[in-house]
Amino acid sequence: MPKENNKATAMAYLGEKVMESPQELTRRLGLDAKGAPLIRRALTHRSFANEQAGAVEDNEKLEFLGDAVLNFVTGAWLYNRFPELQEGELTRMRASLVRTEQLASFARQMELGKALRLGRGEDQAGGRDKDALLCAAFEAIIGAMYLLRDIEPVKEFINPFIEHATGNIIFSEDFRDPKSQLQEWSQGRKMGIPKYLIAEATGPDHQRKFMVEVWMDGKCYGRGEGHNKQDAEQAAAQFTLNQLKEEKGRRCNHAFKIEIP
């Protein structure tokens, strides 16, 4: 088959599968029509480029640029949003926000899969919903937007995604210890700082075991056990977070309590 027919067949196949053209996505992103060629490149997976007879550039260089922009914008947002966090905590939270699965989720929210330019085999293999491909395309789109409009419009585009995802990450990701996570939750709901009270202390001095309760807003939300007070407090906080995930705050019985200094 002549090369021209190969190319025509590939383009026809693409036309059947792509439900949103680069031009349409460019308009949806609020970009000037002149930016459509760069957006087209951001949507082009190497599997598509490899099937074309002519030279077609894939999105990998734009993905590289977008990755750097995302790390910067996300880091700046976290720095301003959580001034009380230490560097290690900010780093872990940023890693949670820019990991492959999270960026793929952002891509799904903006229905990016329907605009991807994929090769026939990759498309038939479900490439439009693969985390790795969606993540790469999202990063490439960010890279293209940066080249077309600079950093401030990119921030305006990314920040709502970050804001929405952060609340879920506070509970679902181990970027901070359980006590810090629980304090963030309680203070955000005007319930003050959680108090940790010893409910029980058993065992000999060399093998003590503590049972600690966590109290918020006048209610006991959970208990935790540990061989020292610190471990018991963390266990109580983790138990409470698990309960809150299931929307099951509960009051617990106690025989006596001593407030930990």
Q: Are 108 and 134 in contact (CB under 8 A)?
A: yes
Q: How far apart, in whole angstroms, are the C-alpha atoms of residue 106 and residue 101?
A: 9
Do residues 73 and 89 touch, judged by C-beta distance below 8 A?
Answer: no
pLDDT for residue 13: 41
Q: Is 200 a catalytic residue?
A: no
Cα-atom radius of gyration of the chain, to the nearest Å? 25
Q: What is the DSSP string of the chain?
A: --HHHHHHHHHHHHHHH-SS-HHHHHHHTT--GGGHHHHHHHTB-HHHHHH-SS----SHHHHHHHHHHHHHHHHHHHHHH-TTS-HHHHHHHHHHHSSHHHHHHHHHHTTGGGG-B--HHHHHTTGGG-HHHHHHHHHHHHHHHHHHH-HHHHHHHHHHHHHHHHHHHHHHS-SS-HHHHHHHHHHHTT--S-EEEEEEEES-GGG-EEEEEEEETTEEEEEEEESSHHHHHHHHHHHHHHHHHTT-------S--EE--
What's the pLDDT score for residue 170?
Answer: 67
pLDDT for 7 equals 37
Side-chain half-sphere exposure of 107, counting CA atoms within 13 A: 29
Task: Please say whether the beta carbons of 58 and 45 come within 8 A.
Answer: yes
What does the pLDDT read at residue 16? Answer: 45
pTM above 0.85, yes or no: no
Measured CA to CA in angstroms, residue 117 lies from 51, 59, 101, 133, 229 at distances of: 11, 10, 20, 11, 56
pLDDT at res. 26 = 92
Contact 243, 221 (CB under 8 A): yes
What distance in Å separates the CA atoms of residue 226 and residue 236, rounded to the nearest whole number? 9
Sign of CA dihedral 250, 251, 253, 258: positive
Phi, psi torsion values for 88, nearest 5 degrees: -65, -40
Residue type, 175: F
The pLDDT assigned to 89 comes to 79
pLDDT for res 167: 77
**How many angstroms from the chain centroid is the CA of residue 73?**
14
Q: Which of 51, 58, 67, 233 is the catalytic position?
A: 67
Active site residue 139: yes
Residue 207: its pLDDT value, please? 75
- Going along the chain from its start, the domains and CATH numbers come out as 3-172 (1.10.1520.10), 178-259 (3.30.160.20)
Instruction: Give, rounded to a whole angstrom, the gap between the first and last alpha carbons of the chain.
Output: 82
pLDDT in tens, the chain (261 residues): 333 344 333 333 444 444 889 999 999 999 999 999 999 999 999 898 888 877 678 999 999 999 999 999 999 999 998 887 788 778 888 988 998 999 999 999 999 999 999 988 888 889 899 998 999 999 999 999 999 999 999 999 999 999 989 877 766 655 567 888 888 888 878 888 999 999 999 987 767 889 999 999 999 999 999 888 888 998 999 999 988 877 643 444 443 343 433
Query: In the prediction, which pLDDT does 90 show?
Result: 86
Catalytic residue among 58, 139, 173, 233: 139
Q: What is the pLDDT of residue 92?
A: 82
